[in-house]
Amino acid sequence: MNWLQLANEVIAGKIISHDEALAILNSHDDDILKLMDGAFAIRKHYYGKKVKLNMIMNAKSGYCPEDCGYCSQSSKSTAPIEKYPFITKEEILAGAKRAFENKIGTYCIVASGRGPTRKDINIVSEAVEEIKAQYGLKVCACLGLLKEEQAQQLKKAGVDRYNHNLNTSARHHSFITTTHTYEDRVNTVEVVKKHGLSPCSGAIIGMKETKEDVVEIARALHQLDADSIPVNFLHAIDGTKLEGTQELNPRYCLKVLALFRYINPTKEIRISGGREVNLGSLQPFGMYAANSIFVGDYLTTEGQEVNSDFRMLEDLGFEIELTQKQEEVFC
């Protein structure tokens, strides 16, 4: 397969076939540089060499009634994680200040649970209004299944984006969780879009799915027209259903990132949870397909040291995308 030629066809408007998508995942390791060259051609066409930085604020940890097999915060998990109720507005604002100072453009307020309470929505709404006024950050909320009136309130407060991952294919979903359906997740993304919030939805790779499942989830996100697509790689946590699962290697992870870029050429592709564990020393290569990363810690696992990420991006010759207020301060 001539990957660069296929990339140029994608830029020209081609939607790759199922066989071409599987060929990416099944490609020989010896061809990985050629594959990533094609992915970079697409990424560079739409995003140049800019990188979007994202930071997570874990606003509520644990106490989740859902049974998601990958999650240490699940009701079925025995992982020894820190648990606490929804944090205060002041704590959310303090996190936004750290994000601004670290040149993070998108601040992600994430909370465990099936869905937010009225109090949760009010805290987030009040905090976001002040974040916008003080720091001008893009704000993404991730609070679980969302109702119409909740989406309206978040939009009015200034929330830019809402994250709700599909996680895996429709076929594989019941293996991962039984307390909500795949359709529940799709519906939340549709509610988000309906009320003018930018939809963020992605996948977790390495949960005993097939390569056909990976292709299906990449296509489903294309059909949903998600603006931002976080690609997570399973960091199996002791005490969860998927404890001990280790199906990934760095080369396959790069092929997955390339697949998501070929199928979703115009979208923000973000290397997310598990990148440090699963990509290892090949992390820099991932940026030739992705144009966005999380910086700092995740929900219940540690991320790479922030300065290491900055050094990696600088060594690659990539440029961090700043907000207008950050440009006024740092440029």
Q: Do the Cβ atoms of 186 and 224 come closer than 8 Å? A: yes
- The helix or strand, by DSSP H or E, that contains position 232, with its residue range, turns out to be strand 228-233
Strand partners, 203: 167, 231
pLDDT on residue 293: 97
- What are the per-10-residue average pLDDT scores of the chain (331 residues)? 97 98 98 98 98 96 92 89 93 97 96 96 98 97 97 98 98 97 98 98 98 98 98 95 96 98 98 94 98 85 84 97 94 83
Task: Tell me if residue 58 falls in helix, strand or coil.
Answer: strand
The model carries a pTM of 0.97
Q: Do the Cβ atoms of 207 and 235 come closer than 8 Å? A: no
Average pLDDT, the chain: 96
Q: Do the Cβ atoms of 27 and 47 come closer than 8 Å? A: no
Q: What is the pLDDT of residues 122-175, one digit of tens each?
A: 999 999 999 999 999 999 999 999 999 999 999 999 999 999 999 999 999 999
Strand partners, 205: 233
**Domain spans, the chain:** 3-330
Burial class of residue 207 (count of CB atoms within 10 Å of its CB; 0-12, 13-18, 19+)? buried
- Give, as one character, the DSSP assignment of residue 31: G
pLDDT on residue 306: 87
Looking up tokens 């893009």 gives 138
The residue type found at 67 is D
Nearest-angstrom CA–CA distance, 41 and 30 = 19
Looking up tokens 């900055």 gives 310
Architecture of domain 3-330: Alpha-Beta Barrel (3.20)
Q: What is the pLDDT of residues 284-306, one digit of tens each?
A: 999 999 999 999 877 767 678 88
Catalytic residues: 64, 68, 71, 108, 140, 200, 270
pLDDT on residue 327: 94
Strand partners, 108: 56, 140
